[in-house]
Structure 1
């Protein structure tokens, strides 16, 4: 890493659990930052790792290096503005009150001394917390509050009226955090804020030339999420409501009409990817775009009163989001399908028991964005336990924009553009995978069906494996339906407890699983990547099927089609790479300490028979492998009784 900082060559490092990744990048980062008086930014995907770095690793490192450095290194945690209390919103509120669906009450009732609702009581608690907290950071509030309550006391960066105009500017929690970050040698942040810094023209992070991206396998998805726009009845109603009192009735009516037309259209629409823009949708999007722009232009942003200024800033932000998203959706249909850079789809999702329709637009690739706004500006070290796919860094490097090709044609229009210099290193693992773990592929099972639940043969296999293991099983399933079906069946057939994601909070379930070796835990995506249970409570990881993306996933299928149209293998570049990365993450749950032993069981016979099976297995640790069910059950029984 120190060499990368010296040469400007980007570095991708795969380092397994237990290799000390954080210390490996923090030591050279701290030394470099202190010696040059130039900060290093460290970005992570999860709050847990951010807290580990700031609360544990960096303080210990600062103590250890005290005699080697000219001064003690400074470090700070920086999050997006919406993670901090907004004093102006708490004390002044806004002219339009609360926005649906975050609140059902006017602003004055939310902040009433004797609130009658649960939401009002949460807001009152947040108001009282303002006097006690030093940071205003939502993550430091225990117990936490709902998103509905937090929305009443926070603003986004675009809704902020600015430190100079805000009467609480000098006491602003977000500005204080930013000021601390500006003085720090190591700035710890998250991928979302890093993406916002890259996407927006405004500088969100302090100037930096050196960047470390931990949990780098998450980077593309997090940047894609930030770059995704959406239109829903809720988001349009917020813009409508915020603008209603700020413009004349004629303009307000135009916006109301446009919102009503698009709301009705997407409410009646069929979910799925939209490849052809029909006349009705084109007309509705154009009307919304034009109305939002006209209303936005009519709002006066110059009032000196902080309450009025805040209301106008919030309205302009909501209108800009709606208008720009509608315009982006319209523009995305301009080029031929093979040349498009965005995909649009309609989705139906359930939130708090209510279904809503959402029209979304997302980039087909963020490679060009990452290249131009990240790698061409900062020397970057990317690290994770899982960066190689099929035994190579090529897939990740293409997704990041470090290389070009059918999957990432970033340089196809400009072959003279200098190639980005980078290299990949796999530092291995402290574990002896061949002696500590077994990869068992249940080749005798029928291929999984399309209904999303396990076959009777697969359920028999799960019961037999868990019985042999004496519980101690983490079941990773491709869908919640499959996880629940398996859990219900196992509860009837097994004498050991079975927990299922959704029974309680994930944190509570993992704690119960870790504390009782006979307990099994079934779940889906968050368990594939978020479980760290060393010791005897986990000796069997079950994977029900190869985790290919859903065949109706609008974004990944559009990416797959785009690769194929440019001469690449869309299935291998997108679907197989996606599955390989998740398989590696899931298999990584097994060995978390040097003494751990166990089995990763893949209950999908395609892992042994399909033409892509070798590619997927090359993405996994080098476990000893077998397809013999008797042999693997005997091994689990020995582990259980040792």
Structure 2
């Protein structure tokens, strides 16, 4: 793999490389990238991998190569303490609780000591704490060079370090935010970049679609209303009119969210407009936003903060106006509903042409790698989605011995239709004897939150193992408890399907309830399906099935993380064996033996426990004398 990447760098080519778990793909791209010289940008799918690569993998490779390559870590601005906003929040004294006041004091002490300002280095304040909104900046509210703290700005310091470094580690969100918005400092890096490596590249098409579109959220608008009032006071002025319209905007944004009903919905724009209270709430929101835009424009000369608020208001007015335009064939309008907010989107159906344009601006090597890029041996779904049909494609299987380390179990007797109301209960009944045989130590992964909640109801009084449930703590907290407990059962949905690494005996079973087909009524998917049909294509084979296969590969990949792991992958969807496409899905999974017999699962764990005892006894025999 390293040789193939080296060759792609030498010819400034495009390489799509799937590398199974355990191949060492991080080293396989870091070594040739560092040896080739020139400027290198490595982009990861998550901040977790970004930190791991910068803190652990990169130092190991640099030491092994004995090279003097300089490196920098660059994150989005929301990851760095904003000195201006932190000081303003402390001076205003308007935080919601004593806990927030205490957390802000901790952030102030951290800001006085840190050289990076990276909030990941401050463990004392949870990453989802509301106070961070007062102590970090966004593209909307950053004052740029007009900021009184510009010279000491942590974001600018990180960007200067990135400009000077030979290798820069970023993440996909940061990369696209900059490519599209020219906002994160990468635009300055790209012209000099010789090699671009995208790890966890399977996430790129979705991330690209998000950033190549437009959106506005009710949270952005409530923050705009708050910032407008605060910036006016900071500029030493008062405007009763601005105060009134800012209050109206805040209320209108909250009313729009309430008009959309329960959280968790993803609605097509036409669906949202059919809701009884939504059209009226939208009209009031647009009116109040335009009302605020006028006094902000009049006050903009008083300070950069007010000028920034005026620009934010104008941008939001433009997005809302675009939401009201007739929908083109290449895009979809839709609404996402959260617990306390809603986001309105205009999303392109394909990011291929838009991404391809970014690739054409300067000759360089483009390397795309992940453990899940191909459907079987076929890369066409990924290359079509990203607009790189001419790319060289290569695949390296995992070196693990799946035939001996793992067993694929597809239980009998489950409802043939996974949408059957009794399906989740049938999954739990089938999983209980497996959990008993494994002694807990399991992930149960669900395709919907509704199924997860139902599984929790069914399991909580029926197992003697610690039960951890997504939503009862942060992902990192739940994983830490899972590893520490050693016999826990964790119920997870989307956020646990990928990017989770639990090695050793703590995880010996992964149960997946259904094939992860995206719901066909999802507004973006529904529009893409209709577009493919209109062009004479087959949306199931071209889009829905490949997406499900890649998602399933991610979920299944949680089980075997190194050469000593052993475990059961339990797939509960009868379509795997009852539908013709099931064979295509099975061929895409690691080469495990398949069984439909519970007795084989129980035998697997008996053999595993016997082997563990033998290995343990061997370790005792090999202990040095004097060790007890």
User: TM-score, normalised to structure 1's length?
Assistant: 0.83
Moved more, 18-27 or 279-288: 279-288
Change (3 A) 1:24 1:347: closer
Moved more, 441-450 or 613-622: 441-450
The aligned counterpart of 1:25 is: 29
The aligned counterpart of 2:615 is: none
The aligned counterpart of 2:592 is: 623
1:239 lines up with 2:220 in the alignment: no
CA offset at residue 465 of structure 1? 1.5
Segments of structure 2 that go 5 or more residues without pairing to the other structure are 612-628
Moved more, 438-447 or 534-543: 438-447
The aligned counterpart of 1:549 is: 518
**In structure 2, which of residues 97, 104, 119 is the aligned counterpart of residue 123 of structure 1?**
104
Change (3 A) 1:435 1:132: same
CA offset at residue 283 of structure 1? 6.3
CA offset at residue 262 of structure 1? 7.6
1:325 lines up with 2:329 in the alignment: no
- Contact (CA 8 Å) 1:228, 1:363: kept in 2 or not? yes
CA offset at residue 357 of structure 1? 4.4
1:310 lines up with 2:305 in the alignment: yes
Greater share of helix residues, 1 or 2?
A: 2
1:73 lines up with 2:57 in the alignment: no
Segments of structure 1 that go 5 or more residues without pairing to the other structure are 99-105, 404-420
Change (3 A) 1:214 1:347: closer
Distance 2:97 2:456 in 1: 40
The aligned counterpart of 1:406 is: none
CA offset at residue 618 of structure 1? 2.8
- Contact (CA 8 Å) 2:217, 2:343: kept in 1 or not? yes
Q: What SS does the corresponding residue of 2:93 show, helix, strand or coil?
A: helix
Moved more, 145-154 or 463-472: 145-154
User: TM-score, normalised to structure 2's length?
Assistant: 0.84
1:599 lines up with 2:590 in the alignment: no
Moved more, 77-86 or 284-293: 284-293
Query: Residue by residue, what CA displacement relative to the aligned partner does 1:274-305 show, whole Å, maximum 9, x if unpaired?
Result: 2489695796687578667656654535x5xx
Superposition pairs of residues 418-457 of structure 1, within 5 angstroms: 421-450=390-419, 454-457=423-426
- Contact (CA 8 Å) 2:414, 2:423: kept in 1 or not? no
1:156 lines up with 2:138 in the alignment: yes
The aligned counterpart of 1:364 is: 349
- Contact (CA 8 Å) 2:425, 2:458: kept in 1 or not? no
The aligned counterpart of 2:158 is: 177
CA offset at residue 43 of structure 1? 0.5
1:567 lines up with 2:536 in the alignment: yes
- Contact (CA 8 Å) 1:289, 1:324: kept in 2 or not? no
Moved more, 561-570 or 479-488: 479-488
1:379 lines up with 2:373 in the alignment: no
Query: Residue by residue, what CA displacement relative to the aligned partner does 1:244-283 show, whole Å, maximum 9, x if unpaired?
Result: 6599877887888788778656643576212489695796
The aligned counterpart of 2:381 is: 395
CA offset at residue 383 of structure 1? 0.7
Q: What SS does the corresponding residue of 1:187 show, helix, strand or coil?
A: strand
Change (3 A) 1:515 1:109: closer
Superposition pairs of residues 251-290 of structure 1, within 5 angstroms: 267-269=258-260, 272-275=267-270
CA offset at residue 75 of structure 1? 0.1
- Contact (CA 8 Å) 2:425, 2:455: kept in 1 or not? no
Change (3 A) 1:162 1:391: same
- Contact (CA 8 Å) 1:76, 1:180: kept in 2 or not? yes
1:513 lines up with 2:494 in the alignment: no
The aligned counterpart of 1:212 is: 197
The aligned counterpart of 1:411 is: none
Q: What SS does the corresponding residue of 2:519 show, helix, strand or coil?
A: coil
1:43 lines up with 2:43 in the alignment: yes
Distance 1:367 1:316 in 2: 34
Distance 1:191 1:587 in 2: 23
- Contact (CA 8 Å) 2:293, 2:313: kept in 1 or not? yes
Distance 1:523 1:283 in 2: 39
CA offset at residue 40 of structure 1? 0.6
Distance 2:11 2:241 in 1: 61
Q: What SS does the corresponding residue of 1:425 show, helix, strand or coil?
A: strand
Distance 1:77 1:249 in 2: 45
Distance 1:395 1:634 in 2: 39
Query: Residue by residue, what CA displacement relative to the aligned partner does 1:324-359 show, whole Å, maximum 9, x if unpaired?
Result: 32133134x243xxx1x33222343214xxxx4443
Distance 2:466 2:561 in 1: 23
Distance 1:254 1:32 in 2: 58
The aligned counterpart of 1:417 is: none
Q: What SS does the corresponding residue of 2:316 show, helix, strand or coil?
A: helix
Distance 1:265 1:521 in 2: 36
1:8 lines up with 2:2 in the alignment: no
Change (3 A) 1:55 1:276: closer
- Contact (CA 8 Å) 2:77, 2:184: kept in 1 or not? no
Moved more, 458-467 or 245-254: 245-254
The aligned counterpart of 2:92 is: 108
Superposition pairs of residues 343-362 of structure 1, within 5 angstroms: 343-351=332-340, 356-362=341-347
Q: What SS does the corresponding residue of 1:607 show, helix, strand or coil?
A: helix
- Contact (CA 8 Å) 1:289, 1:327: kept in 2 or not? no
CA offset at residue 170 of structure 1? 2.3
- Contact (CA 8 Å) 1:75, 1:186: kept in 2 or not? yes
- Contact (CA 8 Å) 1:199, 1:373: kept in 2 or not? no
Query: Residue by residue, what CA displacement relative to the aligned partner does 1:173-201 show, whole Å, maximum 9, x if unpaired?
Result: 11111111111011001111101122124
Change (3 A) 1:537 1:23: same
The aligned counterpart of 2:496 is: 527
The aligned counterpart of 1:186 is: 167
The aligned counterpart of 2:605 is: 636
